[in-house]
Structures are given as structure tokens and as C-alpha cells.
Structure 1
Amino acid sequence: MSLFAETSGDFGLGGQSAHCSLLWALESLAWSSALLSRVAVVLGRLADQDPGGRLANRPSASLAAALHLHVPQGAGDGATCVAALDAVRRVAPAAAWRLALDLVSHANPGMISGPKFRDWPRPAQATMSDTGDALDALTLRIADDAGSDPDRLAAAFALVHRFRETGRLALLKAAEAAWPDLQEECRRTVLASLAERVAMHRRHPDAGWALPGQALKALEAFLDAHALPGSHPDDAELFSWRPFRRGLNRNGEDADLEALASARAEAVRRRLRDGLPAVLRLAEASKLPAAVGDALAAVTAAHDSMVLEHLTGSSQPLHAMAAGLAAHRQREDASWLAGTVVARPAQAAALCRTAAIDEALLTLVDGLEADTQDEFWRDMQPLGVSDDLTPTVVRRLLERGRAWTAIELLSDVGACADRDLAIQALMAPALAATEDISRAQSPEYTIGRLLDNLEEAGADDNLLADLEWFYQPLLDHSRRPIALHRELARNPARFVNLVSLLYPPDLHTGAASGDGEPADGETTDHTASSRASTAAWAVLREWRRPLPGSVDGHLPTTEDMLRWVESVREKLTASGRAHVLPRVLGSALSGALTDDDGTWPSEPVRDVLEILRDTDLDRHLAVAKMNQRGVTGRGVYDGGAQERALADQYTATADRVRGRWPRSGALLDGLSRSYREDARREDRSAESEGDR
């Protein structure tokens, strides 16, 4: 549906979709008891048609938030929410099933706001008994709707710890009734889900959320009664990050490694009695399928050839199982990989990706056919690469268009041992098509760290400024563009370029092109223009130091600052933007740098204000300074003490400078008066709070 179509900004950040406004409107209507069920039905139908996307605003989330039992945010109490669920079950059963699971699991509490122009009554606060009754009603519906669907039964058993006794017994009864109709593979799915829940609660018996022993015994009795021949119901649990099995772990401790290896090998042997397909099913049901491959390799080599076929063209669990088997063989025999690559050339790249990255592996890969090398580097994950091999691996990745992976790897080195290579990697996304940024784990962190390393290594400031501008949409909230700010201070043309992105020319000045066409360098792509103006605004907003005219990052001379200001005035006037000069210059000159004695504004700024004698500039500079203060916090009865302290500070500074710089004295007097008025307002607010 076009309603759910999403648009995103640079680097895939942000996102907009028309459906969000519709969801917010429906959420507001959910506060009406007369409309709640109708809203639930509409949201359920939308949820059934929702194709999914990157945005968190989804119809299913709004539906769960409106009917949430533990964080009620709509008009319904427990009984009303269950009735609304029943209404959804009739028209959108798939959405109702997901909703019931969400309500039982306490998922999607959301934060939905009520209506602004309707005084709809709120339902009474639900008691624990009311919530429990509603939970029982939900679990009975879950047991009923699960039917003989193995995926639904497995999903319900995954939440069995959220059920009260009534719900647990109903679910076990539903599973018993469905059991004769389930195929063997479906039974394995259901048993694996229940076994995982039981193991989790046996592992943490003292946790507040753990099921009591009597409840676990009933679930374990079901597992034992329906155990399939040749397998143990919790075999899959052995192949997890924190394996647990009755009798293997004691007192909730992690399993002994030797005992765990033995138990895993025995589980594989049991499955092998039914043939290799049974082992493959175990891998697909396990959270750590590579451990299944490792255990199979320890038990027998008879199935190596068939298992290795799954390195290519198979599901992720079977691929991981094959990789685990290959890794085991490499630990046993250092020459196994080279020999197997020769014997299985069609899988050479996949085989090499199972090995640790060292000099021997890189030499082996370099000796493969060109297409095979490309295949290897296209999908390999550079984990555990040593610092001395990092440059080689990065170059190979860049040659295959994997700039984001290369950047992430370089950022892990911790310093720019190869500065030129780091610059090449950072420039790659700007110069050519590359892999999707989603391949990078934390692009904001890795790019920011790499830029910091280049700064420390003394990279060219102009180049760093260009890189910071390119990556600004990605780094807006994580790193200040310090090199770009230095470039703005010494290069008025760069400042004018950013201002031109932010403010259009005044067409009535006659400075713009007379034929109605955009001036040179100005874009007609409105989307690109919007993104560029947003980036320009963010860069200028954060610019506090160094001051305009600075060439070395320190306090500039009056002459240097005046030259910078005059150049900006000339260029912006020529481009038809003279109307924004007081605003942008006032913001630029309001930076935080002070004289050695702490006086603000600094002497070069005071000199420039006296020379220019521009009242509008003085006013905008004062406004920019006040805006820099940001949000404040205070006690309820503190009043305007903070503002009075600032007013006293500005008054003292004004007295100190007004003799030589009268315009700066007047500017500071204005700031002092403004803060004294703010202080009186805060005093009145504190007094009114005290009268309540």
C-alpha cells in the first residue's frame, strides 16, 4: 500500500511516511470508550496490510498500546480490552493473534497521547484482580486460536511463563488435542520452544520471574510424554550460548565444558540414528548451529562432504553448521583448508571465509581465481584482523566497493598508522557506489573515531573539513565538525556557501539572475536542497569557536576579523542575501571565546561592532548569545536566582568596557535588562507555586 511508503534522508537516516499521522489520529480516538472497539478493528485491518518498514510507528504497535493491560493508555479496562480483541478476531484474525501475544508479553507499551479537544472520561484504575482476569481471558483465546498450527503453538509456549495456571493448563490441553494432527517436524518445533522456556526457568530458579517448581513439573511431564524417538526434547538447548539441561547443570551454574562436549556429541549420535537429515533439523532448531557442526565433526567424518555443500545456497543455520564443521577440521589439521579448497573449487571462497584471517589465509586467497577472490572479499567479515594485516585487508575491501566495512575496520586500529589509507576509505562513499551503510555496525561512532584519529595524526585541515561536511547528516548528534568550523573562521567564502544553502536570495533586490533561472551553483532539486540546508543549519548552529577571522584557531586580530566580515558582506550582498547579514553575522560573532580576563564579547568583536555601527547586527548578536544558553533547570521555589547572577555579570562587564566600546556596553546593558526581567518572571512563578 502506498500509505506505508517510506522516504529517508542521507545515509538512510530519518524517515517519513503518510501512515504515521493516521496512526496518531486513531490513537487519540482510542481514548473514547464509544470508539475504542471501532479503532481496534481499523488498526487490526491496517496491521494485516502493513508491509513493515524502518519506522517504529506500526499499526500493530498502536493497537497493542491502546489495549495494553499494564500500561493502559486508552479508554478500556481489562474486560473492554478483551472485548475489543474479540472484535478484531472476527475481522482480522492474523492481527488479533499477534495482538493477543503482545498483550500477554507486555510488548509495545508505547506512549500515546489523548485528544486535545475532547474531555473523555478515563476508566477507573484496574486492580490486580481485574488484570489477572483479563490475562486469563487472553490466554484462553490464545490456546483456542493456536489450534493445530505448530508455529502458533510454539509461539504460545514461548510465552508460557506469562500465563497463570488456568492459561498454562488450557495451552497444554490444546497441544494434547492437536498432537495427533501434527507431523513429526511440527512436533519438534513445538517441543523445542517449550524445552527452551523450561530450561530458562530451571537455570534461574531464584529469579522473581521464574515459574514455581510445580508448574515446571507439569511442563516437563508434557516434554517427557511426547519425546520423539532418537532425540531428547531439549537437544536444541544444548547448542546455545548458555546451554542448560536437567542433570547437566547443577545449582544454575554453567555446564562443565567436558560434560557439555560429551552431551552434545551424544545428542548428535542420537540424531544420526535417523540419518543426517535429523542432524540438519537439530541445527535449524538451535541458536548456535555452528556448535552442531563442531560436534558432528568430533563424532564422524562420514558426512563431511554432504555438510560442506551447505556452505553455499543454504539457510543461515545450515551454513553456520557447515562452517562449524570446517572450523573443527582446521583445528585438527592445519593443511585441511588448502587441500579442501583444491578438491572443492566451487566452494573455495566459502571455505576460506570459515578460517581465521592471517597471513596464510591471505596468501591462499591471493592464489585463487580472480572471480573466486572477488566472491571471498564480497561477503567476508573482517573479524579478529591483526593491526599489521589491517592495511592489506582494507585495500582488498575498498577494491570490491566495501567502504563501510573498511572504515569500521580502520576505526578499530585506534590510530591512523596509514593516514592516506584512512582518507581513501572515508572518501570512497562520496566518490563511487559502495555497499549499503547497513553493513556497518555503528557508522556514527566508527566514522567519528576515524576522523578524530586523522585530526590527531595531523591530516590536512581543508580535507578534514570536506569530509566533515559530507558526513554531517550522519554525525549531527554525535560529533562537532571542528575542522569545518576552523575552515569557516578562516575562509569567508565557505561561510557564504553555507548561508546561501540556508537562505534564498531576495528576488526583489535585483541581485538574482533576471531570467528567473537559478544562479550558478544553486540546485533545483528540492529534496537535495532541503537536506543541504538542514546540514548547513546544523553546522552554523554549533559554530562557537574559533571566531571569524581566526587562522590558527586562536583569538583573531581586529584586522583579520574585519576583513572576514567585509568579505562576507560583499559576497552575500552580491548574491541577493543582504537581508540576512545582521542575523548570520550576529550569530557568527557571538562565539564563546573571551579575552584573557574572561570578558565577553572579546576585544576584536567589540572593535568590529564600533567600526560597523550596525544596530541590527548588535541586536542579533545579543539574541544569539541568549539562545546559546539553552534549557535551564531549577528547583520549584528557586525563582530567578540564575538570571540575576547573569544580569549582575553582564552589568559588571558593561561598566568595564563602556568607556572605550560604548556599543558593546549598550549591548551588555540590554542583556542585563533582559535577564532581570526573566528573573522577575521566575520569581512570580515560584511565588505562585508556593501559594498552592
Structure 2
Amino acid sequence: MDRGGRYLNRPAASLRTAFLLWSPQTNATFSQRLKVLDRIRKRYPKPAWKLMLGILPTGHDSFSPTPSTRWRDFSTDKKEVVTYQLIGKGAEAVLDRLLEDIGSNAARWVALLDRWSDLGDRRQKAAEQLKQVAQGNPTKDDRELLRTKLRGVLHHHRSFRDADWVLPEEDIAELQVIYDALAPLDPIESVAWLFDPSVSLPNPTGDWDKDEKLLQSQRAVAAAALLRAHGTERFFDLIETVREPGFLGQAIAQSDAPEDIQRTLLVQALRSERDADQVFARGLVWTKYRSAGRAWAEGLFDETLKGDWGDKALLTILLALPAAGWVWSLTKRAGEVIEALYWKRFNILWSKEDDADPTYVVEKLIEAGRARASVHFIGYHLHGGTTFASELLARALFEAGSQPVERELDGNDQMLQYYAEEIFKRLDEAKDMSTDTLVKLEWLYLPLFEHSQRKAKWVMAELASNPDLFVQLLSAVYKPTQDSEVVEPPVENEEHAQAVANQAYRLLRIWDVIPGTQADGSIDGAKLEAWIKEARKLAHALGRGVIADQKIGELLSASKVDADGIWPAVPVREVIEAIRSRDLETGVMVGKFNRRGVTSRAYGAGGSQERQLAKQYRDWSQATAFDWPRTSGILENLAKDYDRQATAHDQDAERLDWR
């Protein structure tokens, strides 16, 4: 039973590898595999169909070989040799079975059309069968399914006419005949596909710009022709049918339909309650504005406002116009409700004009509850050289960190992280931004800095200078030990406490600024010792003494190699000797191991890396044994652990040879 998923091998993939024509992962012969395949077709037709498509040879393919047994040999004495002749024979057998099982199933024909280039000399037979399906009165859904796929195939091959892989012209012409035979009688069905979000023209030029112009022309001609032949009522049926009514509005505006007819359609659509009609009107207004200009747009707005055509009509007109100061003046005239809706739906990627004030847009987006969108908007304009006040940048980040996500309009989280980081860089350079504000912002955006080139430097510096904050973070994550006899009241807001604990844990994990660190990277030993003593005292009073020592030790592991070529730095060695805490020393070892990160090595390389590390730590241990004996003990323990790891890797490499 396949439970689904994408990250592990699935049963269907295993079945495919056993039946691969060019590298079968089984000892069964070709004829034996065909017999099994026929049994599967009879008992399990759907999986069999997918299997046959999966093993049909193609121009490029790959698979993961099945591992062979290590200790017992189950192979046959005489294994069948795979030759090109055998692969060709297998392909013909599979194709015959595919064409036998396909019938009039539209979904299967769509799948087979994806492999049309792989059908070889069976392509003519397949075309004849598909032609019979097209002439056999398929259902509306099946007809549309087949037409859509055929358009894609025709478009693909005619867009690259000179490519080596393109089908012969006679085969393409055969598909064109089938496509034409599937043409619906209903006038709406026959043109609705032109107004899809992505259109594959069945007879493209091969030049993207020319194809775009060709598509625009065909849309305009089709829209005007249907309007002339069937009137406005059927035209509004078309609006309701197409997937992108905005393209239809654009087509009518670009067509040769009389101006009075275009106006009738626009007014009727603007006054309609149907969403599709409003989208159509928006496309028409946007296209018309580009040719008629601002005066036409303002006149339409005034007429709509005075004629009381409704809030939907006003909003549609405003959203169709560019991001410009004169448009925002119209939104104010429309009233508070319309203005609020406008900024709720304002597209931050929309075209703008010279009188557009980016600062005004940011403020309105924040007011509309779209601070995340404002961060994206700021990011776009920062790259364009626009500057924003530091206060506004900070406000946008604060609001974006607390407002819910509007995914459809506010962009994806990856770009939000990128733009937020760009804003932080601007705030780092600002002279009028307080450290307290930067600390609060970094705390709010802490997940951003886990994998960022810019560290959360302000909040980590604050933590390195404030032992009380360190203990607060510990208390948020860890409970007091039982032997401390510290009893704390129950948490009032569990959800908030969990969120704070997650942030605190994250900050403690990425924190690498040792207290007492100076601007040049050196460490003031007196400041470091004073910070640790105060932190330990506060933590002990709250029942967190043990975990405090461990976390302090993990932090000390971030020390650099000192000028004498020995790790850790001398002030860290001194404080280890002064504190004399086994928990702290354990934390140093744990932190140092974790900071090594992920390793990689050549196949069968063994533990050479670990032996080098063991030697280095042992040399340091011997060099520090007299002056810093506890530090020497930490270094010797690290060396012993790496000795054990080296032995384990050596044993793994040796086991690889057994295969």
C-alpha cells in the first residue's frame, strides 16, 4: 500500500525499475516480464497503464539501481543481455499494449500525447485511433481536455521548427486535423481558451514578441466577432465563462468594436454585481486609459460617482489606474470605505507615475493592515535608489512582525526575509536610530538572522552586557531544578509563553558574542568574569544554576584562537580556572563539538580528519597543562572524543570494503 509522499522511493518506482527495457532490475527475461505485465494489465489496469508509460523508452531517462545482495548470490547463471534490438522489440510491445488499452479515455490520450515523440512508427496508428475518438462525439469536458493538450503539442513543435527533436511536418499536420475535428459548435467554447492565463497558440511564429502580438490580435478579433454575431447578452455569458475576464476587457478595448458599444459594455459591467464583470471592466479601463489618458479616466470616475453606480464600480476604476498621486486624490473623493478597500487591494508591483510618493504608499499600506506588503514595497524601491525615513522603516518592520499574512497580495516569505534584511542594513547605517529600537526589532525578527550574513548583532551585544537579560531568557526556556526548591506561579498565557520560549531558545543558540569583547575582537577578562559571576548569582537564585553554567560554557566555546596559537583565548582560560564549574566545562565541550558543524569526506576515507583534530587538541592540552589545568582537561577530553570518532569512521570505511 502506497501511503504517498515525495522524499522516499515509492512502490510504483520500484515496479518500474524491475520492468525497465534498457536496464531491468530483475533476473526475469524479456518474455517473462511481458507475461507478468499482461497479468498486471488484466488485474490492475490503472497501475499497469502508468507502468507502461514509465518504461516506454524516451530520449533521456534515469533511475536508481536496486542494491544487490551482499552475502548471498541470487543471480542466474546465464543472464539475458540487453541489446538495442531487444529494447526496440520491447518498445513495440509496450506501444501495442498502450494503444490496445487506451480506448477513448481522454486522460490517457493526454498522457500519451505527452509522449508522442516517443511513439516511433506506431505514431500513425495512434493518430488514426485519436481521430476516431475525435469523430466519436466526446463529452464537452473530454473535448476541452484533448483540445488543450493538442494545442500544447502543436505550439511546442511549431515554436522550435528548426530543432532536431521536432516532429515531421506530416505528423504535425495530422495532429492539426484532429485538433480541428474537435472544434466545438458553441461559439463561446470555441474562443474561451484564448482568455486563459497562459495560452498556447496552435500555430505560433516562434518569436515571443510576435506571438504576443498575434495573441492580442486573435483575442480582439474573436471578442468583436462574437459580440457582432451574438449580441451583448451572449457576450456577458462569455465574460462569465473565461478564466481571465480582464484579458477579454483588454481585447474589446483593442478591437474594432464601435465606441458606443464599448461604452455600453463598460457601463453594464461596472454596474454589475458579478465579480467576473468587474474584472472585465478593470481590463477595459486599464487598456482604454493607456490610449485615452488621464482626462478620460477622471471623466469616467466623475460619472460613476455622480451616477451612483456603486462602490464596486468605483473600486474597479481606481484599481485599474496607475499608482499616481492624482489617482490617490480620487480615492479620497470616493470616501473612506472605498479608500480603505483600495489600499487593501493595491498591487505593490503596479506601474507608477512620476507624482507617486513611495512614503505615502508605505504609510497607507500600514494603515490598511498590510505592513508585510509595505516591507516588499520598500525593498523594491530601495533597490531603485529611493530613501525612506528611519522611523518609517522601523515602523514598517514592527507592524509587519505583528500583522497577519495576506499571502495573495503581500508576496512570499523568502522575499520578505530578504527585504527585511535590506531594511536592517539601512537602519544599521542610520544616525537617528536608537539601540533600544534595534534590539527590539532584532528580537522580533530573530528567525531571520539564523541563516543570514547579517547577525543579530544589537540584541547579542545587549545580551553580552546584561546578565539579567541572559537569566530572563533562561527562565523562559528552562524550569527551575527540583532541588532548588524554587516554586513559580503557573503561566497565565501559555501560547505567549511558548512563543517567548522559542525566541529565547533561538537567541541562546545563535549567540556568539562573549561578554567583555572589545571593538578589536579582544576580550576584557575582568568584564567577562564580572558578567559571569553576576549571571550565575541571578540564575542560582531562580533555580537555574546548572543550565546557566552549561549555556555560559557553550558561549565561551565561541572564543577565537589567541595570539599564542592556542584555543581558547587567554581570558576564557582564566575564567574557566576561576569559576571551577564542571557544568560550565561540559558546556564548553558541547559547544565546541556543535560549532564544528557538518563534515564531509571521500568514500572510504576513514577518520583522518578527526585524528588531526585530536592531535591539535592534545597539543593544546599539553601546552596549557601548567598554567590552566582545567582548560587542559577540557582540551584532553576533546582529543579523546575525536580519537573515538576517528576509530568509528575507520571502522565504517573498513565495512565499506565488505561490499
If the length of structure 2 is used for normalisation, what is the TM-score?
Answer: 0.76
What does residue 444 of structure 2 align with?
Answer: 470
Q: Distance in 2 between matches of 1:430 and 1:163?
A: 53
Tell me if 1:306 matches 2:293: no
After superposing the two structures, state which structure 1 stretch, 375-384 or 464-473, moved more. Answer: 464-473
Contact 1:104 1:139 in 2 (8 A): no
In the other structure, the counterpart of 1:342 is: 302
In the alignment, residue 370 of structure 2 is paired with which amino acid? R
Match for 1:220 among 173, 176, 179?
176
Match of 1:665, SS state, is: helix
Residue 565 of structure 1: CA displacement? Answer: 1.3
Tell me, in whole angstroms, the C-alpha distance in 2 between the residues paired with 1:154 and 1:497.
Answer: 65
Preserved contact between residue 152 and residue 202 of structure 2 (Cα < 8 Å) = no
Contact 2:557 2:592 in 1 (8 A): yes
Larger Cα Rg: Structure 1 or Structure 2?
Answer: 2
The aligned amino acid for 2:210 is A
Q: How far 1:343 moved relative to its partner? A: 2.0
Q: How does 1:279-318 map to 2 (within 5 A)?
A: 290-299=246-255, 300=257, 301=259, 302-307=261-266, 310=269, 314=274
- Determine the structure 1 residue equivalent to 2:530: 563
Q: 2:627 aligned to 660, 665, 670, which one?
A: 660
Structure 2: distance between partners of 1:332 and 1:271: 24
How much does 1:541 deviate? 2.3
- CA displacement at 1:218 relative to structure 2: 2.0
- Give the C-alpha shift of residue 221 in structure 1: 0.5
Which AA in structure 2 matches 1:340? L
Aligned to 2:457: 482
Indicate if the aligned counterparts of 2:614 and 2:638 stay in contact, CA closer than 8 A.
yes
Pick closer, same or farther for the CA change 1:424–1:512 going to 2, 3 Å.
same
- Tell me how far 1:201 sits from its aligned partner: 2.3
Distance 1:274 1:157, change over 3 A: farther
**Aligned alpha-carbon RMSD (Å):** 4.9
Contact preservation (8 Å) 1:468, 1:483: yes
Structure 1 residue 282: Cα displacement: 6.9
Matches within 5 A, 1:400-411: 400-411=368-379
Structure 2 runs not aligned, ≥5 long: none
Indicate if the aligned counterparts of 2:158 and 2:205 stay in contact, CA closer than 8 A.
Answer: no
CA distance in 1 between partners of 2:410 and 2:41 (Å) = 39
Q: Deviations over 1:56-93 (max 9, x none)?
A: 779xx97866776899999998987897788778xxx9
Give 1:380 shift: 1.6
Task: Give the structure 1 partner of residue 476 of structure 2.
Answer: 501
Q: Which residue of 1 aligns with 2:343?
A: 377
Q: 1:492 aligns with which of 419, 443, 467?
A: 467
Question: Does structure 2 retain, via aligned residues, the 8 Å contact 1:401–1:434?
Answer: no
Q: Kindly indicate whether the alpha-carbon contact (under 8 Å) linking 1:157 and 1:197 is maintained by their aligned counterparts in 2.
A: no
State the alpha-carbon separation in 2 of the partners of residues 227 and 104 from structure 1. Answer: 31
CA contact (8 A) 1:157 1:194 kept: no
1:460 corresponds to which residue?
434
**C-alpha distance in 2, partners of 1:499/1:657?**
32
Check whether the contact 1:416–1:454 (CA below 8 A) recurs between aligned residues: no
Q: 1:328 aligns with which of 281, 287, 291?
A: 287
Residue 286 of structure 1 deviates from its aligned partner by 7.1
For structure 1, the residue ranges without an aligned partner over 5 or more in a row are 1-25, 28-42, 48-55, 147-151
Opposite residue 339 of structure 2, the aligned amino acid is: Q
Give me the identity figure in percent. 24
Separation in 2, partners of 1:647, 1:512: 44
Deviation larger for 67-76 or 558-567: 67-76
Q: How many residues in Structure 1 have an aligned counterpart in Structure 2?
A: 610
1:271 pairs with 226, 239, 249, which one? 226
1:191 corresponding residue in structure 2: 147
Structure 1 residues 84 and 473, CA gap change in structure 2 (3 angstroms): farther
Deviation at 1:625, TM superposition (A): 0.4
Query: What residue in structure 2 maps to residue 358 of structure 1?
Result: 324
- Maintained 8 Å contact 1:62/1:110: no
Q: Deviations over 1:199-238 (max 9, x none)?
A: 2222134557654433322221122334457799688459
2:389 is aligned to 418
What residue is the counterpart of 2:504 in the other structure? 536
Alignment correspondent of 1:52: none
Q: How does 1:224-243 map to 2 (within 5 A)?
A: 224-227=180-183, 236=193
Contact 2:278 2:316 in 1 (8 A): no
Q: Which amino acid aligns with 1:470?
A: L
Matched, 1:617 2:588: no
Given that residues 101 and 142 in structure 1 are in contact (C-alpha distance below 8 angstroms), is that contact kept between their aligned partners in structure 2? no
TM-aligned CA distance change 1:620 to 1:287, over 3 Å: same
Asked if the contact 2:550–2:588 (Cα under 8 Å) also holds between the matched residues in 1, the reply is yes
Q: Distance in 1 between matches of 2:148 and 2:601?
A: 55
Match of 1:203 in 2: 159
| CA distance in 2: counterparts of 1:591 and 1:633, whole angstroms | 22
Cα distance in 2 between the residues matched to 1:483 and 1:583: 23
Cα 1:313–1:436 shift into 2, 3 Å? farther
How many angstroms does 1:167 deviate by?
A: 5.3
TM-score for both structures, normalised by structure 1 = 0.72
Q: Structure 1 stretch 488-497 or stretch 162-171: which is displaced more? A: 162-171
